[in-house]
Amino acid sequence: MRKLALHWQILLGMLLGIVVGLLVSSLGMGKSFIIDWVKPIGTIFIKLLKLIAIPLIIASLIKGISDLKDISKFSRIGSRTIILYVISTMIAVTVGLVLVNVIQPGNSISAETVAQLSEAYNTNAESRVDSALKQKGKGPLQFIVDMVPDNIFSAASNNRNMLQVIFFTILFGISLLLVKEEQARPLKQFFDSLNEVIMKMIDLIMLIAPYAVFALLASLIVETTNADIFVALAQYAMTVVLGLLTLVVFYIMVVKVYTGRSPKFFINGISPAQLLAFSTSSSAATLPVTMERVEEHLGVDKEVSSFVLPVGATINMDGTSLYQAVAAVFICQALDYGLTIPDQLTIVLTATLASIGSAAVPGAGMVMLVIVLDSLGVSKETLMVGLALIFAVDRPLDMMRTVINVTGDATVSMVVGKSIGKLSDPSAKNWDDNYKKL
C-alpha cells in the first residue's frame, strides 16, 4: 500500500472495511472478532488524532497570528472568515429547506414505522432531548458565555471545549502581537518549533490511517441492526445526501470562479481529509489532516489556514446545518406537525446559531437538532418520537455531513487566502511531485 497515494490507501481501506463488514454480517459469524480485535485499531487512531487536536490548535493559531506581524492583518482575516462562515451556513440551511419541502420525505413514513422506531430508540432519544433542553434553558447568550474559559487547563483537557481553547489562544496571540518584538521572539520561536513537531506527529499517525478506516467501517457495519428501518428511511436519507452533494457542487463552483483552481485540483487536494472525516465523523479529529492538505496541496498560506481551519472546525458546520433543516422539517412532516413560513425562517436562524455552538464531535448534530425543533414549539413527547424516527440512520449521515463540514472549511480558507493574496499558485509539476510523496 505504500506505493499508492494516501487518498487511494484510505479509500481502499474503506472499501475493504465495508466488504468485510458485510460478509461478517451476512455469514453471522466473526462479529466478536471484529469488535474485540479489529475495532480497537480504529479507536486508537481516533484517540491519537484527538490527542494532538488541542496542541495543534494552540500552536498553529498562535503561530499564525504572530506571523501576521500586526493587528490589522489579524482583523482583516478574522472578519472575512466569520462573515464567510455565517454566509455558507445560511446557504446550507436554505438548500436543505428547499429540498425537503420539494421532496417531502416525511409523507412516506407510516404510523407503524414511527411506532417501531420510537420503541427501539426511545431511551437514547430521551437522553438527547434532556441534554438539549437543558442547554437551551440557559439563555440565548449562553453560548457566548460558554466561549470564555475560567481555567484554560480545564478547557484544554476536554475536546468538547475547543471554542474556549480558541478564545484563549486568539487572546494570547493578539497579546503576543502587541508586546515588543524582542520580548515576543522567544515565545514565537517556541510555538514555531512546537507546530513543526506536531505536524511531524501527524505524519506518523497517518501511517496507520488506511488500516484504521478499515477497522472503523468494518465494526460499524457489523454493529448495525434494523435493516428494515434503514429501507423505510431511505427517502429521508437520500434527501440529506442530495443536499450534501449540492453543497459539494457549490464549493467547487466557488473555488473555480473565485480562485481559478480546477475541480480536480481541489478534490485531489482535500480528498484524504474528506475520507478521514467520513471514517471518524469528527471535524476536530480530522483537523490535523485538513490543515496539512490545505497548506501543502491547496496552496493556502499557513498564516491563513492556521486561523481559518481551527475556527471552522468549531463553528462552521455546513453539513450539520443542512441536516438539521432537513431533519426538522422531515420530523414535522412525518408527525403531521404543520410548519408555516415564519417557522421555516426560524429554522434558518436557529440552525445557523446552533451550528456555531455545535461541538466538532460525532453525534453533536442530534443535540443541536433538538434545539431547532424546540424553537418551533414542538412538545417534549413529540421531540422524543421525532428523534427516535431518525436515530437509526443518523450515524451514516453523520459521517457524510462531516465530509461537508471539512470541505466547507477548506473552501473558505482558499477564498480568504485568495482575497488577501495568501493563496499560492504552484505549478502542476511541483504539485504532482508533492502529491506523489505521500
Prediction pTM value? 0.66
Map grid coordinates 485499531 to a residue: 41
**Strand ranges in 63-219 using DSSP code E only, listed in sequence order:** none
Output the pLDDT for position 258. 93
50: Cα separation from own chain's centroid: 14
- Give one word for 33, left, alpha or beta, with left for phi > 0 and alpha for psi -120 to 50: alpha
CA distances from 415 to 287, 289, 419, 425 (A): 18, 19, 6, 13
Distance between CA atoms of 285 and 362, rounded to whole angstroms?
Answer: 10
Output the pLDDT for position 254. 94
Sequence letter at residue 172 = F
Output the pLDDT for position 98. 92
Q: Evaluate whether 324 touches 351 at the Cβ level (below 8 Å).
A: yes
Distance between CA atoms of 279 and 186, rounded to whole angstroms?
Answer: 39
CA distances from 203 to 49, 196, 200, 209, 266 (A): 11, 11, 5, 10, 21
Output the pLDDT for position 298. 92
3-class secondary-structure state, position 137: coil
Distance between CA atoms of 129 and 125, rounded to whole angstroms?
Answer: 6
Q: 345-376 burial by CB neighbour count: b if 16+ within 10 A, else e? A: ebbbebbbbbbbbbbbbbebbbbbbbbbbbbb
Output the pLDDT for position 221. 75
Output the pLDDT for position 110. 64
Q: Which fold has domain 6-436?
A: Proton glutamate symport protein (1.10.3860)
Per-residue pLDDT of the chain (438 residues; tens, 9 = 90+): 456 766 678 778 878 988 898 888 788 778 888 888 988 888 887 788 778 777 877 887 787 677 666 677 777 888 888 889 889 988 998 999 999 889 888 776 666 656 655 555 454 445 545 555 555 556 666 667 877 888 888 888 866 566 688 788 888 988 888 888 888 889 888 988 887 888 788 778 878 878 887 887 788 678 655 444 455 567 888 899 999 999 999 999 999 999 999 999 999 999 989 988 888 777 777 888 898 899 888 999 888 888 888 888 767 788 888 988 888 888 888 777 777 777 777 777 777 766 654 544 444 555 566 667 766 777 666 666 666 667 656 767 888 888 999 999 999 999 999 998 888 865 444 444 444 444
* Cell representation of residue 408: 466547507
- Of 299, 360, 319, which is closest to residue 166 (Cα–Cα)? 360
- Give the 3-state secondary structure percentages of the chain, helix then strand then coil, rounded to 5: 85, 0, 15
Output the pLDDT for position 436. 47
